[in-house]
Amino acid sequence: MYLTRFRFNTARTGARRLLTSPQILHAAVMQSFANVPALPDGNSPRVLWRLDRNANNQVLLYIVSPDRPDLTHIVEQAGWPTTGSWDSFAYAPFLDKLTAGDIWTFRLTANPVHSIRTRDGEPTKRTAHITVRHQLGWLLKQQERAGFTICEQPKELPRPTDMDEYQVVVHDRRSLDFTKKDPARSSKINNVQILTVTYDGRLRIDDPDKVRAVLTTGLGKAKAYGCGLMTLAPAQ
């Protein structure tokens, strides 16, 4: 497994083209593998990616993938072709080190949805969680299956609202609206609307195997569009 980081040169037209359409960025990410990645089956590791918009001039692309990617084409379009490149890191040794009880800070960009029906008997429909409260609730619901627990706020710290019970912030909530070609009918163009949020916080690992699976196969929906990739960093 590899973790790869690339920084966009946001002043370039090519960067804007990639950053404005998750569909185009997804295609660019998938084209960085010489061997076409296998279709995801939900159990084996897959290609995951995420955009971290830390500042206007610091937009980072993270990719977690079974094979080592070659981002030359993205660097040529949207990077610094002669002075900037991308960094790949070996991910497997890090994954092997994970043990139960460890505390890590995490970042996850996800597409929090649930399936509801508005009238009895109607087929259910996938619907985004709109409010921060529900978006946080979605993450808390995922954590048991994913093998980790979000750390609770220490008792001595103030909790002005019940949202402050956990050491996690929900930010960068954005709704994406872009078009994609219908694979069945190439003349038809479909509209895609998804809602993404970014979670930052601290977690404790309960089941390292489940966490490894989450880190390599993703969490939640819309994984092709930059959602579902969780990364861990050492907790201070």
Partner 1 sequence: MSTLALRFAGPLQSWGVASRFAWRTTTSTPTKSAVVGLLAAALGWERDADLSDLAALRFGVRADQPGVRVRDFQTAHHGDTGVSMPLSYRFYLADAVFLAAVEGDDQLIEALHAAIKRPHFLPYLGRRSCPPSQPVNIGVRTLGLNEVLRQEPWLASEWYQRRERRTRVALDMQIEVAPGTRGSDLQRDQPVTFNPRHRRYDLRAYHNETIEITNPHGKQVRENPPRQAVTAHPAHDPTIGLEAV
For partner 1, the binding residues in 60-99 under the rule CB under 8 A are 62, 68, 87-91, 93-94
Q: Which of 169, 178, 192, 204 binds partner 1 (CB under 8 A)?
A: 169
If phi over 0 gives left and psi between -120 and 50 gives alpha, with beta otherwise, what is residue 101? left
CB of 89: closest distance to partner 1 in angstroms? 4
Tokens 């996800």 — which residue? 110
Closest CA to 5 of 106, 88, 118: 88
DSSP-derived 3-state class of residue 139: helix
Among 121, 123, 183, 234, binds partner 1 (CB under 8 A): 234
Query: Is the Cα dihedral 224, 230, 231, 236 positive or negative?
Result: positive
Tell me how far, at minimum, the Cβ of 172 lies from partner 1, in Å.
Answer: 7
Residue 5 parent element (H or E):
strand 2-7
Q: Does 222 bind partner 1 (CB under 8 A)?
A: no
Integer Cα distance of 133 and 137 in angstroms: 6
Q: How far is the CB of 104 from partner 1 (least distance, A)?
A: 10
107 binds partner 1 (CB under 8 A): yes
Which residues bind to partner 1, rule: CB under 8 A?
2-3, 5, 52, 54, 62, 68, 87-91, 93-94, 105, 107, 169, 171-172, 198, 200, 231-234
